[in-house]
């Protein structure tokens, strides 16, 4: 009786483990020295596991349809999008690095900021591979500070620019006549309209950038953040920031007792009319949301007079990627003007170009100019004129933690 059970179990186990075949191992040692044709031919017919944040249906759809079908057509590569937050895949890689697991399941990553820094410092990324990609060489302005540095951390060819973002505020023009255009004005506005404003809690990406945005105006600009962190100096430096945020707190949504856990919730509050302003890192995202009927038609975006934080997000390949060649080919395609322009369309995604528009051919430049950005969006020139860079990545976890202690947990509350 029991022999039989055991046989069944064993059979099942074999059957099941058969299902989990990993991607075919490719010869990858010398990918960094081989030429592009070899890389492409190695990549053909493989599957690329693309790990990326999965909370935006439009971005998912863009990857799953546009990218996926192009890769299939051009190189017979299947792109397998895996939805996972950056913190989580970094953690996963960290575990794999610790036990030195070869043949990891991640081939391509969407990454930037402190996650890139962590990944680099723990030697979790493979490269430098950037200069292997023809489109990178052709269309990317390699010396530009927002491409050579990721939140102040040198990129060194371990990642390639995927797109650019700039922090903007969204407001309902039907309800807010004169939107606040600086930290000072915001404080006054929030005091005049209690309960109508809030920001996502750190370490949410957007919440975190809002805190830095305020920090630039009330405490210290990006210029005053050297690569080396001096905690004591920093504590003093940030004192006005916590003062400002705590002054704001009682007038926030829910009197600041709690904060929306992420951008999506903030957007939902805005869509439901609970608050009158939201914010995001994609300047044309609002237009897309209006178009989809999720946001009021009277929504508008704006930047602060002294500028808002802009940054670049990148693509990277983990140290143990099973299919590095495939990942490189996909990354190269994502660097192409076609992909970048498609991504730029607010209806598809609305992400700013990661490559340099001036390096593009004329026809592509015209295409970019022809894309309607939607009524809610600011013209590219306005955005460019109001862009300020990020601070070094190392400060970000520090600030986020300090925010939790100083503001969220509410010392003296």
Partner 1 sequence: MRLNKIFSLTIFYLLITPFIVLILWSFTQTWPAGELLPSEFGFRGWRYILEPHSKVWHSLLVSLSLSGAVTLISLIISIPAGKAIAHYDFVGKSLVETLILAPIIVPPIAVGMGIHLSFIKYGLADSFLGVLLIHLTVTLPYSVRIFISVFKAAGTKWDEQGRTLKANWWARFRYITWYLIKPGLVTGSALVFNVSFSQYFLTFLIGGGKVITLPLILFPFINSGDRVIASSLSLIFILSSLFFMIIAEKCIEDNQRQSEFYYL
Partner 2 sequence: MRSLILKKSTWLPYLMLSPVLFILGAFFIGGILLAFLQSLGYFPIIGLEKFTLIYYKEVITSPDFMAALGHSFYICVVSTLISTVIGVYLAYYIAGLSHKNKGIDFLYKIPIAVPHIVAALMIVFMVSQGGIIARLVMKMGFISEPNQFPSLIYSKNAIGIILIYIWKEVPFITLMVYTVMANIQKNLGEVALTLGASKRQVFYHVILPLSTPAIMSASVIVFAYSFGAFEIPYLLGATYPRTLPVWAYLNYISPDLTNRPIAMVISMIITVLAIIMVWLYTASLKKLVRYKL
By the rule CB under 8 A, 226 interacts with partner 2: no
Angle 377-266-311 from CA coordinates, rounded to 5°:
55
Please tell me the count of residues contacting partner 2 according to CB under 8 A. 36
In the complex, the smallest distance separating the C-beta of residue 187 from partner 2, rounded to whole angstroms, is 19
In the complex, the smallest distance separating the C-beta of residue 132 from partner 2, rounded to whole angstroms, is 27
Footprint of partner 2 on residues 93-112 (CB under 8 A)? 94, 98-99
Task: Using alpha carbons, list the distances in angstroms from residue 233 to 208, 226, 230, 236, 375.
Answer: 21, 11, 6, 5, 44
CA-wise closest residue to 199 among 285, 296, 305, 270: 270
x/- letters, 248..267, toward partner 2 (CB under 8 A) = -----xx--xxxxx---x--
Q: Which does 150 bind (CB under 5 to 8 A by kind): partner 2, partner 1, none?
A: none
By the rule CB under 8 A, 174 interacts with partner 2: no
Q: Which does 157 bind (CB under 5 to 8 A by kind): partner 1, partner 2, none?
A: none
> Where does 107-179 have alpha helices with state H?
113-121, 134-139, 145-148
The 3-state secondary structure of 187-227 reads: HHHHHHCCCCCCCCCCCCHHHHHHHHHHHHHHCCCHHHCCC
Q: How far apart are CA 225 and CA 278, in angstroms?
A: 27
By the rule CB under 8 A, 191 interacts with partner 2: no
Region label for 236, one of left (φ > 0), alpha (ψ between -120 and 50) or beta (otherwise): alpha
Q: How far apart are CA 142 and CA 354, in angstroms?
A: 11
Please state, as a whole number, how many other Cβ atoms lie within 10 Å of the Cβ of residue 233: 12
In the complex, the smallest distance separating the C-beta of residue 122 from partner 2, rounded to whole angstroms, is 8
In the complex, the smallest distance separating the C-beta of residue 258 from partner 2, rounded to whole angstroms, is 4
End-to-end alpha-carbon separation of the chain, Å?
67
In the complex, the smallest distance separating the C-beta of residue 68 from partner 1, rounded to whole angstroms, is 6
x/- letters, 1..40, toward partner 2 (CB under 8 A) = -x--xx--x-------------------------------
The smaller minimum CB distance to partner 1, of residues 271 and 347, is found at 271
Q: For residue 170, which phi and psi values (nearest 5 degrees)?
A: -115, 135
List interacting residues with partner 2 (CB under 8 A): 2, 5-6, 9, 87-88, 90-91, 94, 98-99, 114-115, 118, 195-196, 201, 253-254, 257-261, 265, 268-269, 271-274, 397, 404, 408-410
């Amino acid at each position: 009786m029991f022999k039989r059970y055991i046989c069944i179990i064993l059979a099942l186990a074999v059957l099941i483990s058969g299902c989990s075949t990993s991607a075919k191992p490719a010869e990858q040692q010398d990918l960094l020295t081989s030429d592009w044709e070899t890389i492409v031919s190695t990549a053909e017919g493989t599957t690329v596991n693309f790990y990326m944040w999965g909370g935006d249906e439009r971005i998912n759809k863009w990857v799953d349809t546009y990218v996926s079908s192009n890769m299939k057509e051009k190189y017979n590569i299947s792109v397998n999008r895996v939805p996972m937050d950056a913190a989580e895949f970094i953690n996963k890689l960290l575990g794999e690095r610790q036990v030195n697991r070869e043949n990891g399941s991640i081939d391509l990553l969407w990454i930037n900021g402190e996650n890139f820094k962590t990944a680099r410092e723990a030697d979790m990324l493979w490269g430098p591979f950037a200069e292997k990609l023809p489109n990178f060489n052709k269309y990317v302005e390699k010396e530009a500070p927002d491409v050579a540095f990721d939140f102040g951390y040198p990129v060194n060819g371990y990642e390639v620019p995927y797109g650019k973002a700039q922090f903007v505020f969204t407001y309902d023009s039907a309800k807010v006549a004169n939107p606040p255009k600086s930290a000072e004005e915001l404080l006054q506005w929030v005091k005049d309209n209690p309960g109508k404003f809030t920001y996502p809690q750190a370490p949410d990406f957007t919440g975190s950038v809002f805190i830095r945005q305020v920090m630039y105006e009330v405490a210290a600009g990006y210029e005053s953040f050297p690569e080396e962190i001096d905690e004591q100096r920093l504590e003093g430096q940030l004192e006005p920031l916590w003062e400002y945020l705590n002054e704001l707190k009682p007038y926030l949504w829910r009197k600041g007792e709690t904060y929306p856990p992420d951008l999506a919730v903030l957007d939902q509050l805005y869509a439901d009319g609970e608050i009158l302003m939201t914010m995001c890192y994609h300047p044309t995202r609002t237009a897309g949301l209006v178009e989809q009927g999720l946001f009021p038609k009277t929504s508008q975006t704006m930047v602060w007079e002294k500028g808002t934080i802009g940054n670049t997000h990148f693509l990277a390949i983990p140290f143990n990627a099973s299919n590095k060649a495939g990942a490189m080919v996909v990354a190269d395609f994502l660097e192409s003007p076609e992909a970048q322009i498609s991504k730029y369309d607010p209806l598809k995604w609305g992400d700013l170009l990661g490559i340099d528009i001036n390096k593009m051919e004329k026809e592509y430049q015209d295409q970019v100019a022809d894309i309607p950005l939607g009524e809610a969006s600011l013209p590219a020139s306005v955005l460019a004129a109001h862009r300020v860079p990020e601070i070094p990545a190392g400060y970000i976890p520090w600030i986020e933690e300090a925010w939790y202690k100083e503001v969220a947990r509410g010392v003296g509350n």
